[in-house]
Amino acid sequence: MAIVYKARCHLLKRHVAVKVLRPELVEDEEFVARFKRESQAAASLSHPNIVNIYDVGEENGIYYIVMEYVKGKTLKEYIREKGKLDWEEAVRIAIQICSALKHAHKNGIIHRDIKPQNILVSEDGTIKVADFGIARAVTSATVTMAGANVMGSVHYFSPEQARGGHVDAKSDLYSLGIVLYEMVTGTVPFEGDTAVSVALKHIQEKVKPPGELNPDIPKSLQDVIEKAMEKDQNKRYQTAGEMIKDLQRVLKEPNGNFVARSDDESDMPTQVFRPINVEKEQQESRAESKKRPLWRKLLFIAIPLLAILALFFYIGSQIYENHFVMEDVEVPRVVGMNEQDAEKALQERNLIMKVIERKNSSQEEGIILYQEPAEGIKVKPHSTVNVVVSLGPKTIKVPNVVGLSQRDAEIALENVGLKVGLPEYVESDMPTGTVVRQSIEPNTEVVENTEIVLVISKKPEIELIEVQEYVGLKEEIARELIEGIGLRVGKVIKDYNQQYSEGVVYKQNPHAGDTVERGREIDLWVSLGPVPSYPKVLEIDLSQYGEDQEDDGDESIRVTIKRADDGQVVYDAEHALSEGVISIGLEGSGIVRYIIYIDDRQVKEIVVDFTKKEDAD
């Protein structure tokens, strides 16, 4: 759905992860609307086991989410490294995931894509559930679209997701059951050649007990996994809280028999009921009614009183809400506006602007650089919106770094607010790694973040970079990835290709996995889409082939057309000479050579270009 970048926030001086929506998805207005709505919903979550979302926005057609940067690895990578996890470690990880889901479900958000790839293991062992990007707020119409729009990973989604049915919190718990299964066995429960075959197994096949794959798994944990993976939603854990309680108990009673499982058939034996004496029952009923006349009277008095009290309560609550309760207002976007316009826009929404900082930036003086709360967040009227205002570009005097070591020179330039470009290397009499000269002379006044290129003595060892796989990516994305690792885009050859759609890379040189020098050019072959094919009409004048025939008016000749490359006959029929010029339709792709035979005698060879619209000669 997106490309994720590691970035640094200059305001709070910390690293963050920035998820940018892929360019090809921006054109889909419905998808963009869902992206914004769901990411804003996910931003409301705050839990130690959920990756925090700091900001959601759009700038120049680029839709992005700024979120917490977690240093570590995915649970999928962790499982692959270990083969399978110790059951106690797996249970502790599952408890943390369950805790995150409990918080999300409480706030009306279903993840819908729980899988090891979306679970991060930080360096200190904390588990973080990530990518609520395709989650959506629970509504009465929370239904997953089947077919091409199926969300989530097919190996981990629930039977109701496979069927395109109603998805709720219990669907996340099913996926968690599969993740727990994979942690303790090292494999997913269902495999198949296609996504459809795996989906059918989720719906139809019974899972192989994890204890058969790993005998070390205690009985109680196997019961928890099997209950979480029940195909019937009503037989699973109904809440994440229930599952947490059983997982915690697994650690204390590994061989316990405490997991409650629901059965389809009742164990209650058949019972015989005594015959009902209707007359006796009526007598008892009349006797009972004589005993309770006072209660009936009190009931007749209490019901009207309760109705009157309920009416007064309703009217009072309406008056309170209409006259004393003020509706929340949505914070507008003021980033990019000048200070006066921003203050006016906020005042129109009954909000107060507070400047918490003024700092230099590449923006003009007075432009709003940052706002908190972010655009789209709902707050109470007369709330304060904190902003950071630009002081305009800052000018800096370039220091003299000639003669310093490369590292010291870079630190000196960065400390005063300048950027350091890619260095150049030359042979010189100065010590290795020393700055020989700098691209901007010392004491020159420049704008902050101006790039300075350093020329360093003696070229260092060649840095080698592994070429990545770019086949199957859009050209612009491939370019971005190539340049992002220090390589350059070389020749771009565009040609027709039957397998890849227009604008997609179908070949590259060097190939993925090759090791090349930094700065090496990568040649790309980009598809123009399938080769166009236009039917052709071939006209043949029969009169020029009738000179040797007797002119009796009914003379006919045989016309045969074969492909030159494989000899396949594409046309074979007899025609009377009196027909004159005949028209023959040809269909094919690319450029094809044909041979024309008259009465099995080759008379002509033609070349037909089906990529052009004009008829064949």
52 in Cβ contact with 46 (< 8 Å): yes
- Rounded CA gap, 136 and 39, in Å? 8
- Residue 79, C-beta contacts closer than 8 angstroms, at least 6 positions apart: 85, 116, 182, 183, 186
Cα distance between residue 527 and residue 500, in whole Å: 6
| Active-site annotation holder among 113, 131, 223, 246 | 113
Beta-bridged to residue 445, according to DSSP, are 397
Q: Give the Cα separation of 246 and 223 in Å (integer).
A: 10
| 3-class DSSP state of 596 | strand
Backbone angles phi, psi at 162, to 5 degrees: -65, -35
φ and ψ of 517, to 5 deg: -75, 150
Is the distance from CB of 259 to CB of 220 less than 8 angstroms? yes
Rg from Cα positions in the chain: 37
Q: Residue holding tokens 């981990």? A: 156
Residue 113 a catalytic site member: yes
Which secondary structure element, helix H or strand E, spans residue 35, and what is its range? helix 29-42
Q: Which two three-digit tokens encode residue 594?
A: 């044909």
Q: Are 382 and 366 in contact (CB under 8 A)?
A: no
* Torsion on CA atoms 279, 284, 290, 292, rounded to nearest 10: -140
Q: CA-CA distance, 213 to 173, in Å (whole number)?
A: 22
Q: How far is CA 560 from the centre of its chain?
A: 57
Catalytically active residues, by annotation: 113
